[in-house]
C-alpha cells in the first residue's frame, strides 16, 4: 500500500490542494492524516470537507480540532490561536463538526500507529526528542508511529540499546528506509503552517510494502492564503508566518 501522509492542514485550502494533487499524481492507495484540520487558517470548513471525502482515509484528531468542537478548553491556547479557533467554530457546518467528533485520538493498523501528539499523550504532547520517544515506547505497539503537532518534519529511530536519534528532513525530498527490528517515529511536517523555516507545504509518502517513507515539500499560492486570512481579520502575525515558514 502506498499512503499519502499529511498533518496540520490548519484551514489552509491552497496548501491542501497542492498536497492532494501531488498524492493523486502518485496514485496513492490511501490517506493518513495526523490531525489539526482546522485552526489558524482561513478555510476550515472547506478543508474538513476535502479531507473527509478522501477514499481510504485514516485520520486522528488534533488539539485544534478538539478545541473547535468545544472538547478542549481554550485556556490551553495563546490569544492568536484562540482567535482562529473561534473563527473556525463560526465557519464549521454541523456535518463537519460531526466528522471532527468522530475522529479517534489513536489508530493502529497495517504495522503503524497514527497520533497527533505522541503514543503516550496522543493529542497534546509535542514529541520532539529522543527522550520523549523513549518514554512513549511502552505505549507504542507497532514498529512505526506517524505523528504531527509540532509542524516540524523529522524522524526518530530507536536503534537497539542506544539512545534514539532525531533526524530533521532538511532539504526537501528525502527518503527513509525502515530497518527491520528498529522502531521509528515520523513527522511529515505541516501542510498549512510549516515551522521549520521552509514555507512550502510538507507531506510524505509511506510505502508499507517496501517499508520506506519519503518527504516532499510543495509550493503553493501562499499569497492567496494570506489574502484570505487578512480578509477574515485573522491575526497579522499568523498571516506573516505563512510566508516565512515559522
Residue 198 interacts with Fe ion (CB under 5 A): yes or no: no
User: Can you tell me which of 5, 23, 36, 60 binds Fe ion, judged by CB under 5 A?
Assistant: 36
Q: Considering the complex, what minimum distance in angstroms separates the CB of residue 161 from Fe ion?
A: 33
Using the contact rule CB under 5 A, the part of the chain among 5-13, 51-59, 88-96, 154-162 near Fe ion is: 5-13
Using the contact rule CB under 5 A, the part of the chain among 31-39, 177-185, 207-215, 221-229 near Fe ion is: 31-39
- How far the first Cα of the chain sits from its last, in Å, is 33
Alpha-carbon span 219 to 203, nearest angstrom:
11
Q: Within 13 Å of residue 30, how many CA atoms lie on the same side as its CB?
A: 14
Q: Which is nearer to Fe ion, 126 or 143 (CB)?
A: 126
Residues 6+ apart with CB under 8 A from 75: none
In the DSSP assignment, the letter for residue 78 is -
CA dihedral 164, 154, 38, 63 (to 10 degrees): 10
Alpha-carbon span 184 to 245, nearest angstrom:
25
Size of the site for Fe ion (CB under 5 A): 2
Q: Considering the complex, what minimum distance in angstroms separates the CB of residue 33 from Fe ion?
A: 12
In the DSSP assignment, the letter for residue 108 is E
Residue 125 interacts with Fe ion (CB under 5 A): yes or no: no
Q: Considering the complex, what minimum distance in angstroms separates the CB of residue 59 from Fe ion?
A: 14
Residue 8 interacts with Fe ion (CB under 5 A): yes or no: yes
Using the contact rule CB under 5 A, the part of the chain among 21-29, 34-42, 181-189, 204-212 near Fe ion is: 34-42
Helices (H), 26-61: 44-52
DSSP 138-199: GG--SSEEEE-SS--EEEEEE-TTSPPEEEE--SS-EEEEPPTT-EEEEEE--SS---SS--
Q: Considering the complex, what minimum distance in angstroms separates the CB of residue 124 from Fe ion?
A: 11
Q: Are 205 and 2 in contact (CB under 8 A)?
A: yes
Q: Which is nearer to Fe ion, 4 or 192 (CB)?
A: 192
Q: Considering the complex, what minimum distance in angstroms separates the CB of residue 10 from Fe ion?
A: 6
Q: Which is nearer to Fe ion, 110 or 124 (CB)?
A: 124
- Which residue's C-beta sits nearest to Fe ion? 36
Using the contact rule CB under 5 A, the part of the chain among 6-14, 127-135, 157-165, 229-237 near Fe ion is: 6-14
Binding residues vs Fe ion (CB under 5 A): 8, 36
Amino acid at each position: 500500500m502506498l499512503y499519502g501522509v499529511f498533518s496540520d492542514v490548519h484551514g489552509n485550502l491552497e496548501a491542501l490542494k497542492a498536497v492532494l494533487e501531488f498524492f493523486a499524481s502518485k496514485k496513492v492507495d490511501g490517506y493518513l492524516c495526523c490531525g489539526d484540520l482546522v485552526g489558524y487558517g482561513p478555510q476550515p470548513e472547506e478543508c474538513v470537507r476535502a479531507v473527509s471525502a478522501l477514499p481510504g482515509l485514516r485520520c486522528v484528531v488534533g488539539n485544534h480540532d478538539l478545541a473547535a468542537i468545544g472538547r478542549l478548553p481554550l485556556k490551553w491556547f495563546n490569544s492568536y490561536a484562540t482567535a482562529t479557533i473561534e473563527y473556525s467554530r463560526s465557519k464549521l457546518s454541523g456535518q463537519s463538526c460531526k466528522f471532527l467528533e468522530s475522529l479517534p485520538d489513536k489508530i493502529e493498523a497495517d504495522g503503524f500507529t497514527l497520533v497527533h501528539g505522541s503514543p503516550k499523550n496522543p493529542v497534546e504532547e509535542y514529541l520532539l526528542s529522543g527522550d520523549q520517544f523513549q518514554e512513549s515506547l511502552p505505549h507504542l505497539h507497532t514498529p512505526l508511529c506517524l505523528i504531527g503537532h509540532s509542524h516540524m518534519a523529522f524522524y526518530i529511530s530507536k536503534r537497539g540499546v542506544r539512545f534514539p536519534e532525531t533526524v530533521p528532513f532538511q532539504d526537501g525530498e528525502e527518503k527513509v528506509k525502515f530497518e527491520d527490528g528498529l522502531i521509528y517515529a515520523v513527522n511529515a511536517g505541516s501542510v498549512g503552517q510549516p515551522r521549520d523555516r521552509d514555507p512550502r507545504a510538507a507531506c510524505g509518502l509511506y510505502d508499507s510494502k517496501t517499508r520506506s517513507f519519503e518527504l516532499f515539500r510543495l509550493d503553493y499560492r501562499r499569497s492567496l492564503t494570506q489574502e484570505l486570512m487578512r480578509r477574515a481579520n485573522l491575526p497579522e502575525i499568523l498571516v506573516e508566518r505563512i510566508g516565512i515558514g515559522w
